[in-house]
Every structure is written in C-alpha cells, then in structure tokens.
Amino acid sequence: MVTENIAGSLEPTSIVATRMVITAHPDDAEFTVAGTVARWVREGYSVIYVICTDGSRGSNEPHMTPERMAPIRHAEQLEAARILGVQTVVFLDHEDGTLQPTLELRRDLTRLVRRYKPDIVICSDPTRYFHRDMYVNHPDHRAAGEAALYAVFPSAVTRFIFPELLAEGLEPHKVGEIYLYGSPEPNTWVDITDTIDLKIAALKAHRSQVDPEYADIRIREWNGLVGRQYGVPYAEEFRRIILR
C-alpha cells in the first residue's frame, strides 16, 4: 500500500525543482542527509521522502508489537519532515527488516521517479557492507539503495522497462544526479553548518528510536568530523554520480 502525506497539494509541483530522498526506514534520512535536505528546502527546492519499509520492527521491547510500532514510526517521520520542510512523504510500507531489491520495489520507485521528476535522487550506497570494524550495514539499507539506483537508471529513463507505467501515463524521466550516502568512496560534500540544528531537531522527532541527548552529541560529532575534512564546522558527504 502506498500512503502519501503531504503538507499541501497531492500533486507534484512543476514550479520548483524537486529532489527525492529514498530510504529504507523512518529516521534514516535524519541520521544521514537531513542537513542537506534542510539546506535544499531553504534554497527553494521541493523535497520528497520515499520510505520503503513500515519501520514496524524498530523496537525490541517485549510489550511492543509491529502493528503498534508502524503508525508510531509513520507519525515520527511526518513530524521530522515537517521540521525540515519536506513537502511530501511517501510510505511504501514493505515489511521492515526483510526488505529485498525486488522488481516490484524497483517498479514502485520508478513510478515515483517518473511521477515527481526529481533532478537529484539521494539514496544509500548499496555497496557498503561494513563501516570500519564497528558497524554492519543493515541489509534493508543496501536493498533500498540498490532498488533506488536501478529505478533511476535504467528504469525511469528507459521507455519499455515497466511498460505498465506508460499505461499509467508516466513517460520516461532522466534524473540528473544521484547522491549516495554512507558511501565508502565519497566525492562530494555539502556544508550543513547552517542547518545542523534543524537536522538534530528532526532526528529527535524519532522519539521511539533515539535518545535526545545521544542525537545531539552524535550528530555534532559525526558531521563535525566530516566538516573538519573540508574546513567547515559541519558537513555531510556523498558519492555523487552525474548522469546528465
């Protein structure tokens, strides 16, 4: 099921350029790219979030259930989006924890790319299995990243991949750039010094997932480390792939 929650119109805007962020879980964007998102919103871009899973497995509390967790995660994601100024949040509601880069998921993402026509798509780098010796990347992140990447290219731009989308009136769309987050090989960075407070506030909206103090300390630490590499207080970095 696709549910869309929009602070305004249901139709994609044709006046300003649109940028799309595709993630596996509610809170992924806030941990990783929300400083860039807030900056783009300030610069006048329309930003759309696409969340592939329902976030229903986001608790190990014995008294919690996936059925109760999913609407909590939805509400938290919508609150985070409101704080950042993200106009549209699309929940694809695949089962959290077992996401696969299926053709069905790729087609759903292709449909959204053709419909909203983003000039840039942000997604997770699907090649990342580990971070140093302290983090195993969640397989949902890799699955969402792979499906998103192949939705952008070749699916969105190739007329006769998913011909059923043509029947829905969705013509091919060429995305100009992909920004991969969590990449082992970043080649671009965005100064988020002016928007890190918004990023932290948005992350804190995920009350079921993050301790507010942890959110503040960790984000400043992580993005401060990245920023120092580039001579600014805070930055986010990406592997940027130019398709134009």
- Residue numbers at the binding site for Zn ion (CB under 5 A): 25, 28
C-beta nearest to Zn ion: residue: 25
CB closer to Zn ion, 25 vs 117? 25
Distance CA 123, CA 188 (A): 14
Report the nearest approach of Zn ion to the CB of residue 26 (Å): 8
CB closer to Zn ion, 142 vs 239? 142
What is the DSSP code (8-state) at residue 13? Answer: P
Point out which residues pair with 120 in neighbouring strands.
19, 177
- Strands 120-124 and 88-94, bridge-based pairing: unpaired
Structure tokens at 147: 């499906």
CB closer to Zn ion, 46 vs 124? 124
User: Contact 154/147 with Cβ under 8 angstroms?
Assistant: no
Q: State whether residue 17 is helix, strand or coil.
A: coil
CB closer to Zn ion, 28 vs 30? 28
Distance CA 129, CA 12 (A): 34
Q: How many CB atoms lie within 10 A of CB 34?
A: 29
User: Contact 25/58 with Cβ under 8 angstroms?
Assistant: yes
CB closer to Zn ion, 137 vs 193? 137
CB closer to Zn ion, 28 vs 237? 28
Distance CA 160, CA 201 (A): 43
